[in-house]
Chain A
Amino acid sequence: MGTWARDKSLAEALPEIRRGIGEGVFPARVFNDQEVFDLEQERLFSRAWCFLAHESEIPSNGDYVTRYIGNNNIIVVRDENGEIHANLNMCRHRGNLMCKSEMGNASHFRCSYHGWTYKNSGELIGVPYMKEGYNGALTRKDWRLVEVRVDTYAGLIFGCLSPDTEPLDQYLGEFKFYLDFYLKQGDSGSEVHGPPDHWIAETDWKICTENFTGDGYHTPVAHQWGFALGYFPSSGSTHSQGWAVSIPGKGHGIGLGHSPDFPAFGGFPDELVKQMRETFSPEQVSVFEKVRTGVGTVFPNLSFLMQPFSLVPGGPGVRFTTMRLYHPVAPGRMEMYSWCLVPKDASPEYKDLAYKAYTLAFGQAGTFEQDDFENWIKVTKSAKSTAVKDVDFPYIMGMESEFDPDFQGPGHAVVPYVNDTNFRNLWTRWGDYLGGDA
């Protein structure tokens, strides 16, 4: 019998599920369940800092993108003074969707229903028949677009629907140390190469989140074709080498894969390596220079992956970085957003090569992404089947893993890379939110 007995509601089972995570079990059913989805909407996505956009997606005043937090559509915009705002994409008058595009540039948003008009920052400035209709009873400043808390870190724009959640800086905590590797490549940092790939899949967002919190374990099998064609600088026999680092109490985690004889900062152009050696702290350099594959997640649903990849097997690897957001739309169903990040200061040739490596490996047609999603839709389907209702999965790998005393980064760092430690930390934090303790 599993930690979520089949006759129990989620509310009844949650204490037992949370206890099980610490002991290394987690119920299959969690990955495709209506009650779980509903409680996540109410207690997790309504309270956590959720990723909205990268600043380089809205570089000029008036630029906007529309994104989601949970089931809330949000306009993320740079106002006429260059300040970033996030507002619910809903007219305050009768609730119509204000902005129907995914991206664009606008100084104002005008509702297509009764014509209420807002500055791009969200203040209501135009109400038709203000005098004849409202006769002074309506005060514009009381009816601005519903504002969402917004804050940024190194180009990432996050939003939070709760006023009580800790500030973003604390929320990210020690994970910022690792985020810098993706976001501060070179003196001017990273930027998006373009708008994200965007697709819908019969997959639960949590499966993607878990995989990208450092699942080095799946790589030699799920992506075996890459080893078979001779793509990887690691071989199956040395693939377990590296670190799993989790941030206790936060849910964030990263897997740092290392290969024997891997050249320091391998796959980056020399000029960029020089800049990174100067701008990163000595501790960051000590950790980052050894990393072949860096795959990590900001709790709950924003992930990054970086590694060298060559367009043909055995070629010199070029380092690409992808950023991905898993937007849950129903139990076992999500929208995927996948971006390629490139260092702003890098040459156009490097950016182009890195982008080509990204599209060959990731994005909807990417040769690695393809196989991941094939597996994930099957996991999602299994999780819904009746016989699986009270079946647990094992999360005991690395229960006894030892802290690496030579590792210079923050958080709980263990070896080897192949490890469930990050996942236990991830699901523990998930349990905190669902149990109302976060």
Chain B
Amino acid sequence: MERALVDRDLLTEIEQFLYREALALDERRFQDWLAFFTDDVVYEVPVRVTREGNAEWELSPTSRIFDDTKETLTVRIQRLDTDFAWSEQPPSRTRHYVTNVLVDSTDVDNEYLVRSNCFIYRSRGDEPNPSMYSLARRDTLRRTGSGLQICRRWGAFDQAMINAHNLSIFI
């Protein structure tokens, strides 16, 4: 059985970090949100495919829904700051629920592998039915001069056919 190799203070620090990151998204403070990521961040969401249980992979090694860097995440945020990002005008109301946080040390000093579940509730306009997405996340967090930052965000949707006309939100 795997056992967390980190102490309670670190676990609390990382949980609080993830909650604050989620809060920045849910309060649409996107510039603040960008600051949670290192400049060399890799932000990836693979495409899931329904396959037999014994298949080599279910998450495509080549297809991605998000395939982003800090540079392209910044473009996405700049886009939202124009008056013409119709998909978020009026904006989605999101709530990110982050649970099942597991922290493990890695081979790199000051980097931690952080696994979590993320449930996203998304409401738009006067549409009574919200969209809901469930994801597994695997982040790598790095301790830098300015505290913790995410240097890798990886999230996989549990749906192979995602029930959303678009994904103009972040995971």
The 0/1 profile, CB within 8 Å of A marked 1, for residues 36-79 of chain B is 00000000010101111001000011111111110110011011
In angstroms, how far is the closest chain B Cβ from the Cβ of A315? 10
A363 at the interface (CB under 8 A from B): yes
Which residues from chain A contact B161 at a C-beta distance below 8 Å?
A: 198-200, 335
Interface pair B165/A373, CB less than 8 Å apart: yes
Interface pair A103/B82, CB less than 8 Å apart: no
The 0/1 profile, CB within 8 Å of B marked 1, for residues 343-385 of chain A is 0000000000001100110011101011101111100000000
Which residues from chain B contact A199 at a C-beta distance below 8 Å?
A: 161-165
A137 at the interface (CB under 8 A from B): no
B4 at the interface (CB under 8 A from A): no
Partner of A193, one of B55, B63, B160: B63
Q: A359-B64, A367-B79, A370-B166 are in contact. Are A102 and B84 (CB under 8 A)?
A: no
A222 to B86, CA, bound (A): 8
Chain A residue nearest to B161 (CB atoms) is A198
In angstroms, how far is the closest chain B Cβ from the Cβ of A385? 14
A120 at the interface (CB under 8 A from B): no
Count of interface residues, chain B, beta-carbon cutoff 8 Å: 39
In angstroms, how far is the closest chain A Cβ from the Cβ of B157? 10
In angstroms, how far is the closest chain B Cβ from the Cβ of A167? 32
A198 to B161, CA, bound (A): 5
Interface pair A225/B62, CB less than 8 Å apart: no
A373 to B131, CA, bound (A): 15
A101 at the interface (CB under 8 A from B): yes
A141 to B14, CA, bound (A): 64
In angstroms, how far is the closest chain A Cβ from the Cβ of B111? 25
Interface pair B84/A224, CB less than 8 Å apart: yes
Q: How large is the interface on A (under 10, 10 to 19, 20 to 34, 35 or more residues)?
A: 35 or more
A228 to B45, CA, bound (A): 27
A313 to B163, CA, bound (A): 30
Which residues from chain B contact A224 at a C-beta distance below 8 Å?
A: 82, 84
A4 to B6, CA, bound (A): 69
A330 at the interface (CB under 8 A from B): no
Interface pair A195/B86, CB less than 8 Å apart: no
Partner of A359, one of B50, B65, B78, B163: B65
Interchain Cβ contacts within 8 Å, total number: 126
Chain A residue nearest to B63 (CB atoms) is A194
Chain A residue nearest to B85 (CB atoms) is A225
Interface pair B67/A364, CB less than 8 Å apart: no
Which residues from chain B contact A197 at a C-beta distance below 8 Å?
A: 47, 63, 65
In angstroms, how far is the closest chain B Cβ from the Cβ of A410? 34
B87 at the interface (CB under 8 A from A): yes
A229 at the interface (CB under 8 A from B): yes
Interface pair A377/B165, CB less than 8 Å apart: yes
Q: A195-B47, A224-B84 are in contact. Are A311 and B72 (CB under 8 A)?
A: yes
The 0/1 profile, CB within 8 Å of A marked 1, for residues 152-171 of chain B is 00000000111111111000
Q: A101-B52, A197-B65 are in contact. Are A229 and B79 (CB under 8 A)?
A: yes
Interface pair B45/A198, CB less than 8 Å apart: no
Which residues from chain A contact B162 at a C-beta distance below 8 Å?
A: 198-200, 364
In angstroms, how far is the closest chain A Cβ from the Cβ of B163? 6
Which residues from chain A contact B160 at a C-beta distance below 8 Å?
A: 102, 198
In angstroms, how far is the closest chain A Cβ from the Cβ of B14? 26
Which residues from chain A contact B75 at a C-beta distance below 8 Å?
A: 229, 311-313, 360, 367
Which residues from chain B contact A198 at a C-beta distance below 8 Å?
A: 47, 160-162
Interface pair A228/B62, CB less than 8 Å apart: no
Which residues from chain A contact B76 at a C-beta distance below 8 Å?
A: 360, 367
CB contacts under 8 Å to B, within A366-413, are: 367, 369-371, 373-377
A196 at the interface (CB under 8 A from B): yes
A161 at the interface (CB under 8 A from B): no
The 0/1 profile, CB within 8 Å of B marked 1, for residues 212-239 of chain A is 0000000000111100110000000000
Partner of A195, one of B45, B49, B72, B87: B49
Which residues from chain B contact A376 at a C-beta distance below 8 Å?
A: 165
Interface pair B85/A364, CB less than 8 Å apart: no
Interface pair A104/B51, CB less than 8 Å apart: yes
A203 at the interface (CB under 8 A from B): yes
In angstroms, how far is the closest chain B Cβ from the Cβ of A370? 4
Which residues from chain B contact A367 at a C-beta distance below 8 Å?
A: 75-76, 79
Interface pair A104/B55, CB less than 8 Å apart: yes
The 0/1 profile, CB within 8 Å of A marked 1, for residues 90-131 of chain B is 000000000000000000000000000000000000000000
Which residues from chain B contact A374 at a C-beta distance below 8 Å?
A: 86-87, 165-166, 168
A420 at the interface (CB under 8 A from B): no
Which residues from chain A contact B45 at a C-beta distance below 8 Å?
A: 365
A287 at the interface (CB under 8 A from B): no
Taking A195-B60, A225-B85, A376-B165 as known contacts, 6 extra A-B pairs with beta carbons closer than 8 A to each other, sorted by chain A number, are A225-B79, A229-B79, A360-B75, A370-B166, A373-B166, A374-B165
The 6 closest A-B pairs by CB, nearest first: A194-B63, A194-B62, A370-B87, A224-B84, A201-B165, A225-B84
**A-B residue pairs in contact (CB < 8 Å), sample of 17:** A104-B55, A194-B47, A194-B63, A195-B49, A196-B47, A199-B161, A203-B165, A229-B75, A311-B72, A355-B64, A356-B72, A359-B64, A364-B166, A365-B167, A370-B166, A373-B165, A377-B165
